[in-house]
């Protein structure tokens, strides 16, 4: 778990010519889901390419606490011997999900329709995040939740003894909420229906279908209507986790802003519900190409090639693209600082309830580095300085948020003066090899 140890301050210094291949780790969203669905099927699920970041390791521990056997062999392949839908045992200890909103929300959903009780906690960041968005729909199945004021962790969920299926329209664009409801629906009889007005990442739906559940998605005037038939026998799978586009974003953006760079980031999952950043960067004039586009394990995949792009221009990011790049706004705001003109980001209220308030965290650090930012509750505008004109020279707070830490470290590669972050330890939640990978490309990032 991150953020509980000694803070690790880092600084990032002007670099030139990032070169080479960036092998980023496995997709975080798909890694969590592989372990949870593996635990809910009977037999052995085999997972290669699993992200071995703290968030996912906390989910692996949690699945053990609910009775699944989860092991890693000497080749780095993971083996999950599941207990089946409805087979979760009651944990005899508090489930600590560390920094991971995805972990805790999906696991709450997965246990909420079994007659067991579990108590969840996390680090200071996770314990400050809203959980009512998940416990409200879980109550419709018959589960009860008791937590701290404002629906915060630590929180105990008493699973429904006789769960009923639900029909639920997700009030915020959130794949975590959608997934929690679908996972709860697995152990309810009959059909559970989830409606989302805006499409969010669809890994849960794809993976449930892969494990043999009956699940359909229809695009209607109401939005995406997802129907799951409860109480299936899930069949264990062999899963090859694609590499994470949200992690690829960091070496890609570093290459775009750093003079003389040419970086290849192979095997990146380009599911349309995740790839909004790359579309946006190309619209800003980034020299970013997709090579060797193909399909792997039911997901579209390509090698990304990013080269230094001195003539980036600010754009208005379409609000209906927000869900497909929700984790990438922090690093986009860094690229926007090096572009000419304004980058306008609207419809992004959800950024305020991530691992940190990401609009506030980035706006504060960008301003300290000499970049003008305007912001409102659900929008912000970064006023680009143009290449070569971003001052830097500040220490930025990471607020226990891996993506804030990595964004500012990317920024310092191209600012006039170095940029520091007060604590880079949260990077271990999603991208444990970040420091070594960036160093191998030629980035001058140092421990302070």
Least CB distance from residue 188 to ligand S3P, whole Å?
Answer: 21
Q: Whose Cβ is closer to ligand S3P: residue 134's or residue 419's?
A: 134
* Residue 440: both structure tokens together: 């191998």
Q: How far is the CB of 273 from ligand S3P (least distance, A)?
A: 10
Are residues 149 and 220 in contact, defined by beta-carbon separation less than 8 angstroms?
no
Give 102 or 261: the residue with its C-beta nearer to ligand S3P: 102
* Catalytic residue (one of 55, 287, 327, 401): 327
C-alpha–C-alpha distance, residues 52 and 9, integer Å = 22
How far CA 93 is from CA of 120, 138, 342, in Å, comes to 9, 22, 50
Residue 86 CB, nearest distance to ligand S3P (Å)?
A: 23
Radius of gyration in angstroms for the set of CA atoms belonging to the chain, rounded to a whole number: 21
Q: Which residue, 409, 374, 410, is CA-closest to 395?
A: 409
| Cα 274 to Cα 349: distance, rounded to the nearest angstrom | 18
Q: Mind giving me the DSSP string for 158-221?
A: E--SS----EEEESS--HHHHHHHHHHHTTSSSEEEEEESS----HHHHHHHHTT--EEEEEET
Residue 193, token pair as written in the block = 């229906």
- Whole-angstrom distance, CA of residue 159 vs CA of residue 105: 14
**Which is nearer to ligand S3P, 61 or 354 (by Cβ)?**
354
Residue numbers at the binding site for ligand S3P (CB under 6 A): 29, 102, 174-176, 179, 201, 326-327, 350, 354
What tokens appear for 251 in the block? 């070496």
Report the nearest approach of ligand S3P to the CB of residue 242 (Å).
14
CA angle 86, 118, 352 (to 5 degrees): 105
Q: Where are the alpha helices (DSSP H) in 258-388?
A: 276-283, 329-338, 358-368
CA dihedral 304, 309, 312, 318 (to 10 degrees): 0
Least Å distance, CB 421 to ligand S3P, is: 19
Rounded Cα distance, 437 and 433, in Å:
6
Q: How many residues does the chain have?
A: 448
Q: Is 327 a catalytic residue?
A: yes
Q: Closer CB to ligand S3P, residue 176 or residue 192?
A: 176
Decide whether 287 or 355 has the Cβ nearer to ligand S3P: 355
Is 278 or 308 the residue whose CB approaches ligand S3P more closely? 278
Q: How far is the CB of 340 from ligand S3P (least distance, A)?
A: 29
Question: How many other β-carbons are positioned within 10 Å of the β-carbon of residue 340?
Answer: 15
Separation of alpha carbons 366 and 311, rounded Å = 20
Q: Which is nearer to ligand S3P, 201 or 206 (CB)?
A: 201
Question: What element of type H or E holds 434?
Answer: helix 434-441
Q: Which is nearer to ligand S3P, 350 or 378 (CB)?
A: 350
Q: How far is the CB of 406 from ligand S3P (least distance, A)?
A: 13
Positions marked catalytic: 327
């Amino acid at each position: 778990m991150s953020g509980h140890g000694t803070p690790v301050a880092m600084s990032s210094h002007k670099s030139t010519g990032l070169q080479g291949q960036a092998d980023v780790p496995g997709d975080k969203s798909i890694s969590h889901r592989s372990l949870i669905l593996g635990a809910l099927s009977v037999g052995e699920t085999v997972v290669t390419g699993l992200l071995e970041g703290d968030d996912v390791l906390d989910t692996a521990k949690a699945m053990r606490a609910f009775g699944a056997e989860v092991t890693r062999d000497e080749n780095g392949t993971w083996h999950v011997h599941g207990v089946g839908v409805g087979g979760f045992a009651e944990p005899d200890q508090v489930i600590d999900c560390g920094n991971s909103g995805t972990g805790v929300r999906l696991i709450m959903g997965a246990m909420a329709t079994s007659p067991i009780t579990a108590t969840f906690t996390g680090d200071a960041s996770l314990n400050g995040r809203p959980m009512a968005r998940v416990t409200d729909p879980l109550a419709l199945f018959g589960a009860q939740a008791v937590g701290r004021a404002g629906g915060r962790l630590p929180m105990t969920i008493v699973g429904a003894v006789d769960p009923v299926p639900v029909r639920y329209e997700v009030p915020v664009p959130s794949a975590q909420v959608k997934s929690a409801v679908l996972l709860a629906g697995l152990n309810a009889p009959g059909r559970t229906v989830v409606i989302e007005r805006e499409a969010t990442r669809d890994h849960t739906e794809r993976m449930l279908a892969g494990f043999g559940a009956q699940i359909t998605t229809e695009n209607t005037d109401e939005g995406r209507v997802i129907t799951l038939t409860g109480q299936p026998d899930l069949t264990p799978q062999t899963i090859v986790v694609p590499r994470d586009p949200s992690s690829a974003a960091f070496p890609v953006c570093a290459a775009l802003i750093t003079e003389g760079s040419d970086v290849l980031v192979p095997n990146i999952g380009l599911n349309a519900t995740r790839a909004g950043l790359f579309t946006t960067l190309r619209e800003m004039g980034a020299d970013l190409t997709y090579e060797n586009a193909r399909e792997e394990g039911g997901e579209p995949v390509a090698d990304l090639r990013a080269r230094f792009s001195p003539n980036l221009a600010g754009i208005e990011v379409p609000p209906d693209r927000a869900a497909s790049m929700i984790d990438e706004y922090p690093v986009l705001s860094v690229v926007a600082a090096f572009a000419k003109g304004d980058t306008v980001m609207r419809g992004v209220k959800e950024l305020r309830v991530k691992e940190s308030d990401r609009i506030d965290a980035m706006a504060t650090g960008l301003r300290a580095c000499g970049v003008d930012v305007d912001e409102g509750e659900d929008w912000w505008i970064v006023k680009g300085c143009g290449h070569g004109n971003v001052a830097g020279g500040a220490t930025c707070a990471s607020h226990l948020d891996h993506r804030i830490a990595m964004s500012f470290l990317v920024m310092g590669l191209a600012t006039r003066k170095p940029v520091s972050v007060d604590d880079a330890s949260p990077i271990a939640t999603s991208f444990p090899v970040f420091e070594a990978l960036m160093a191998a490309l030629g980035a001058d990032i140092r421990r302070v």
